A and B are shown apart, each in its own frame.
Chain A
Amino acid sequence: MKWGVVTFPGSLDDRDTLHALSDVMGQEAVALWHKDETLAGAQCVVLPGGFSYGDYLRCGAIARFSPIMKSIARFAAEGGLVMGICNGFQILCEAHLLPGALTRNRSLSFICEGVTLRVENSKTPFTRVARAGELLRMPIKHGEGLYVAPENELRDMEERGQVILRYVAADGSESEAANLNGSTRAIAGVANQRFNVFGLMPHPEYAVEPMLGGTDGRRIFESIIESAR
């Protein structure tokens, strides 16, 4: 399967994402530049973490206007798979390809920790190899990951199954203490209504090698690979 990983000025995790995809997952992964106007035939486009445009104004607010975003919006409208991780999630929200917004962590501090996520919907292209309720360990590292959306929108999203991942305690139970950034309804990852665009604050690309603490992130990449078959 062919993947594209976008580099914006200020992206940090682009190379590590390429490493996870090509060296660990054995995929064909190409680097895309924010000024590119085509997606090089990628079947899934990943917007990586980092601080695009220095997080000026609001996280993701300026990257959203990069030339490549027009192609990504078109690709998504045609049903193409798009995943935004961390800053990539923020960009997809700012671009209105995903509902809601990400704001400053409740604690106001940058958080770098391992978290436990519960798969709330396993019937999506991004989670299909997982079981519903399966727990995944991944790291988070962000200052602005508190997910918010209007209450009526949240209700609709929950009903449609658009809440894909939630922060939970290590035993899988819901716990305010495990919701480190204070996200509304402990939401860690969401999809659009069509389930072809997915954004999450945790980093699957940093959870693919045992040496780095775990391999649960592979479940996300394996799901996407399975979906593209």
Chain B
Amino acid sequence: MRVKVFVTPRKGILDPQGRAVEQALKSLGFDGVSGVHVGRYLVLEVEAASRDEASAIARRMCDQLLANPLIEDYRFEVEPG
């Protein structure tokens, strides 16, 4: 199964990178842009018999390594590979 993991800075945590990108976009004339956040996108191939099993594995991987819950939120999508 293919798992796509999206890790973003946690709400309320200072995201200087997102802010810098937002400023750069504004300076290009994209005035209507706000709430820019820069995160990480990971793609994994996971051996699993079912979608549920792949989800359970993905959740454990996120909790243990792929995201730091103190500063990051994550979500993931499972696609039959």
Interface residues on B, range: 10 to 19
B35 at the binding interface (Cβ < 8 Å)? no
Interface residues of B in 1-24 (CB under 8 A from A): 13-14, 16-17, 20
Whether B66 pairs with A103 at a CB distance below 8 angstroms is: no
> In whole angstroms, how far apart are the Cα atoms of A105 and B66 in the complex?
21
Given A108-B16, A108-B20, A148-B13: A58 and B68 within 8 A (CB)?
yes
B65 at the binding interface (Cβ < 8 Å)? yes
A104 at the binding interface (Cβ < 8 Å)? yes
What residues of chain A lie closer than 8 Å to B17, measured between beta carbons?
Answer: 104, 108
Residue of B nearest to A96 (CB): B70
A-side interface residues, number (CB < 8 Å): 19
B44 at the binding interface (Cβ < 8 Å)? no
Chain A window 77-102, contacts with chain B (Cβ cutoff 8 Å), 1 for yes, 0 for no: 00000000000000000100000110
Whether A148 pairs with B16 at a CB distance below 8 angstroms is: no
A217 at the binding interface (Cβ < 8 Å)? no
Given A148-B70, A148-B71, A150-B70: A105 and B16 within 8 A (CB)?
yes
What residues of chain A lie closer than 8 Å to B16, measured between beta carbons?
Answer: 104-108, 146, 182
Whether B68 pairs with A101 at a CB distance below 8 angstroms is: yes
Shortest CB distance A192–B (Å):
15
8 chain-A/chain-B pairs, Cβ below 8 angstroms? A57-B66, A61-B65, A65-B65, A94-B68, A103-B71, A104-B16, A146-B16, A148-B13
Q: Which residues of A contact B (CB under 8 A)?
A: 57-58, 61-62, 65, 94, 100-101, 103-108, 146, 148-150, 182
